[in-house]
Amino acid sequence: MNRYVPSGVALGLCLYAVAGLAHTSEQGFVLLLPTNVYIGAGVMAVILSVLILAVLPARLSTGLFDSKQLIRLPSLSSASIVTSLASLSILIGLLIIGSIGPHDPLKNLLPLTIWTIWWIGFVCLQGVFGNVWHWVNPWTGIYKVLSGFINLSQPILNLPQRSGVWPAVFIYIIFSCFALADPAPEDPLRLMIVVSGYWLFTLVGMIVFGGNVWLQRCECFTVLLNRMAQLSLINTSKKAVHVGLPGWQLFKRPVVSISAAVFILTLLAIGSFDGLNETFYWLGLLGINPLEFPGRSAVIYQTVGGLVLSVILLVGCFALCVWLGVLLANYRQTSTVSFRESFIQLSASILPIALAYHFAHFLTAFLVNSQYALAAATDPMQSGRDLLGLGKFYVSTGFFNTQATVKIIWLTQAIAVVIGHVLSVMLAHSIATRLWNDTRRAVFSQIPLALFMILYTLLGLWLLAAPRGA
């Protein structure tokens, strides 16, 4: 599926072309499976998890997300500088290939690495194995090197604390509009320009406002990846290896602001809209025959409007569910929990759904495009070389041609979505129990949110099975 970078230097500097929502070849296919059975089973699994958690004692509910320390580790701060610089070197090499390599996005290593390996594969890797981004962030190493030549201990300007992570929220929304609405952001040369521009834009922001401040509050992909890393079982920071149930780290570093909560909800809203805007249903709403799709340039404004509306609707629906839950839990009680506190903390429970849908939505794209990336890696300039010794290598899509393999793919997607939703229910219940310190009130507070999650399970599974025409 093609997506182009909008013209304009300003937009190019504000958008990171590690395109959060794009893929360069086959993404979806029409499923001819008994999807009503799978969708029904998935929804029932989430309902069952809600009922089980409702009768769990408070001590057991909160203890589910405790962690244990396994081993101590030596300080590896110097090593992270080296790996960051190595990552930057690889990025520079990819940018060179993007500028002088093949023009076909399916043969050029820059778009394939960024769209497929980085965004699809790396984000999932981050959610499973922890904060790998800490080691390959292409800015931290060069920032440390620059600190040896110029004094960067004090920022030139201070970013107001009240701004929270709103800059990251807005940059991510703008970026998502480009990724979903523009015709083809994977064009190698234009992608090279935007990646270079955004890398420089971020480095300047770090120098002006402070490296850690800019990365943690303005660089939307660092904010995103740091949150995804909190879903992993493993944490290797603080010179030790800690393990726990996926999501345990959210209690060590909870969401603390409205802007951070909105950022998490925005991730889910945009991911869901990315699935919706390709379906026959969405094209039908736009009055377009999905079998005669006129091209993405014909629906730019509709796509941008739909994306922004999706964010507003999801944030609004989540807030409404939390507000109703707070009313139920606080009814005729002397001690109360505020809506603001509940909204902020419960937003973290949405992260497993966002990661699960990210994996499920892009699975088919990764299965195909990772093969194109491997082919491009062995011959990056399409000169006939075979650097990896693969010999004759052909990209295969044969697993889409049989019912057995398609069924395995769809079941993998469906299971991932269901597991994500079940984990979200568990997280939400544990957070609520800690908030109200009362199992009965926590259960009441979760009734509207549990209904929200059940319906979202249904929506997520339907999006995976819906025919696509764009």
Please write the tens of the pLDDT for every residue from 75-108: 777 888 999 999 999 999 999 999 999 999 999 9
pLDDT at 71: 84
CA atoms within 13 A on the CB side of 230: 23
Low-confidence ranges of the chain (pLDDT < 50): 1-33
Pairing mode, strands 67-72 and 234-235? unpaired
pLDDT at 35: 64
pLDDT at 400: 84
pLDDT at 469: 67
Helix (H) / strand (E) element for 356: namely helix 351-378
Q: Which residue type sits at 194? A: V
Give residues with Cβ within 8 angstroms of 308, minimum separation 6. 173, 177
pLDDT at 55: 74
pLDDT at 26: 41
pTM, whole model, 2 decimals?
0.88
pLDDT at 398: 86
pLDDT at 403: 81
Which pair of tokens denotes residue 341? 């506190």
Q: If you count DSSP H runs as helices and E runs as strands, how many of each does the chain have, helices first?
A: 19, 3
Neighbours of 451 (CB within 10 A): 14
Q: Which residues face 347 on adjacent strands?
A: none
C-beta separation of 227 from 45 below 8 A:
no
CA atoms within 13 A on the CB side of 288: 22
Give residues with Cβ within 8 angstroms of 157, minimum separation 6. 208, 209
In 76-122, alpha helices (H): 77-100, 109-111
